[in-house]
Amino acid sequence: MDLILENATVVDGTGGTPFRADVGVEGESIRAVGDLRGAEAKRRLDVEGKVVCPGFIDVHSHADLTLFRDDHDRLLEPLVRQGITTFVGGNCGMGLAPFTQKNVKAVSAYLEVFTQMDFRRDVRWESMAEFMDFVERKGLLLNAALLAPHGVMRASASGLSRDLCGKEDMAEMRRLLRESMDAGAFGLSAGLQYFPGSSADTAEIVELAGEIAPYDGIFACHLRSYTNTTLGRAVAEVGEVARTCGISGHVSHVFSIPWFGPLHRIMLKGLKWLARHPRTALRFIPSPLLDMEMERIMGYLERERERGAAMTMDVMPTTAGFTHLLAFFPPWVLEGTGEAVMARLRDPAVRREILEDIERGKPAWPHRGRNDWSLNIIRQLGWDAVTVMAVHSEKNRYLEGRDFVDIGAEQGKHPFDAMCDLLLEEEGEVLVFESLSEPDDPFTERYTYPALLDGDTMITTDTILLGIGKPSYLFYGCYPKFIHRFVYEKGLLSLPEAVRRCTSLPASTFGIAWRGQVREGYFADLLVLDAPNFASEAVFRRPDIYPAGLDAVIINGKVVLEGGKINEGAMAGSLLRRNSPRRPRGS
């Protein structure tokens, strides 16, 4: 064998009782688990007192948006350093393929805003197969599985339009999706809260999702709404797609945004006060009230299961979301080319229209009207809820980490004008965080606990690592934070159960074969943990801190991290293909 991890405490990913064993690796595979004292090996590593478990599988990531870059291994290093060995990309309807030349300007505008790439310089592919081949030739630091993104396919077929798709556009999207599934995509993703995905009705998604049924693909959805008053309908929409098409439906990064109707302004002030005084709030508000909102959301999924839909979900251990700033503008602002969007922001009369829609818009289902879109974060959470995450130019770097109330006050402007002017200076390429309060506040985070503790819910990062700006602390410490807090600090989960939620559960849900368990014949994606000390000090204001307690990371049988150092040139990852899962060499 190539490597034997001796004297390990094996947490095998199934949730079963830990056991003492040696783990032998040969080639890409786990060759043996047991007493290997008499076996020959090129190298033995004594891991006495340490846990050996499967590498974590992150099913909601945007790490695929960096795979075209020559430095992607450096950018994605924080993922490996927290134990992620496989991620699923192409989420929220956003990905780098497939598209055609039919509406390439629309595709370019759509991708550049989010990725800050130079589309004409960087993109050397169109189809999913071409993109996968391109990535494989370049090599990967860790394993990647891809979903076919509805938003990109829609932009390619019909441009950045708010109209429903016609027959020809639907036929084009269906063809692109079939070709993507043939190439090895794991399913379809949609971002129904984001333009242009928000322009699709349920019938469009059902027709499209029907194409993945023969491949046993999954439909992963950023919901049409996360607003508390219409979130149930959004979950039911995914359930309808899953039932109608006979596929699995997956709800991405579950959270809830408040809307109190006529009382919203005063109720929002009360919530913000509680978030600023978490000790008082958590001391006097009973746990059942704190759990009520998330349990209500989980009840929506259970209701769809009872109706016959296969439904799962994932959650991030944070209360800060992140996206591009233009996503918070009415969808009509985003129609057409990038130049058309910027022209609207320059026009004082149009600015007044946009501001009026933001300040008067109400989240009324199905959110396809002029000003009823459900990502009106500014009205629902306040102008101070939006913080700059990343900009493109050096001159505005000083704004990263600051909210627009603060920026507007400094510049003598309304926060909205500060937003528009920054977007114009950055040609639309502004990424932002959104949160009710400081993202680390324990009161706001407390409502997520029922999902974080639920045995059917996966843990995810929503990674956007572009090498610029202020990253989320989850990109550095999601899994150590989850495990340390709920296993060792609070004692609410066992270590085997916490590991299962991050390994075999996502593997089985998304159809990732031969991974997610410490099992003979499986791929050798393994971690060596000093489990009680596996923890992260990364926080919102200081996010880029690597966790402690991770002694080694093995991907496809290769030691990628050891002794706190990434092995140079260790491009050990694979591009996974749903339609042709292969067993590891050496198994």
Three-state DSSP class for residue 323? strand
User: Is the same domain home to 205 and 222?
Assistant: yes
User: Is the same domain home to 452 and 510?
Assistant: yes
Of 434, 449, 474, the residue that ends a domain is: 434
User: Is the same domain home to 462 and 401?
Assistant: no
Helix axes 338-346, 348-360, angle to 10 degrees: 90
Residue 544 in any domain: the answer is no
Of 469, 489, 515, the residue that ends a domain is: 515
User: Is the same domain home to 75 and 213?
Assistant: yes
Residue 49 in any domain: the answer is no
Placement of tokens 């609070």 in the chain: 490
User: Is the same domain home to 304 and 426?
Assistant: no
DSSP code of residue 67? T
User: Is the same domain home to 255 and 304?
Assistant: yes
Calpha distance 263→258 (Å, rounded): 11
Residue 573 in any domain: the answer is no
User: Is the same domain home to 453 and 472?
Assistant: yes
Q: How many domains, the chain? A: 2
Please state the φ and ψ torsions of residue 562, each to the nearest 5 degrees: -155, 135
Residue 568 in any domain: the answer is no
User: Is the same domain home to 171 and 73?
Assistant: yes
pLDDT of residue 376: 93
Residue 48 in any domain: the answer is no
User: Is the same domain home to 144 and 97?
Assistant: yes
**Cα four-point dihedral sign 536, 541, 543, 546:** negative
Average pLDDT of each block of 10 consecutive residues along the chain (587 residues)? Answer: 97 98 97 95 96 98 96 96 98 97 94 88 96 96 98 97 95 98 98 96 98 98 97 98 98 96 95 93 94 97 98 94 93 91 97 96 88 92 95 93 96 97 95 88 92 97 90 96 97 98 98 97 98 95 95 97 89 93 75
Domain residues for 442?
Answer: 54-320+438-515
Residue 583 in any domain: the answer is no
pLDDT of residue 587: 60
User: Is the same domain home to 355 and 480?
Assistant: no
Helix axes 167-183, 202-209, angle to 10 degrees: 40
Of 434, 450, 472, the residue that ends a domain is: 434
476 closest CA partner among 461, 486, 487: 461
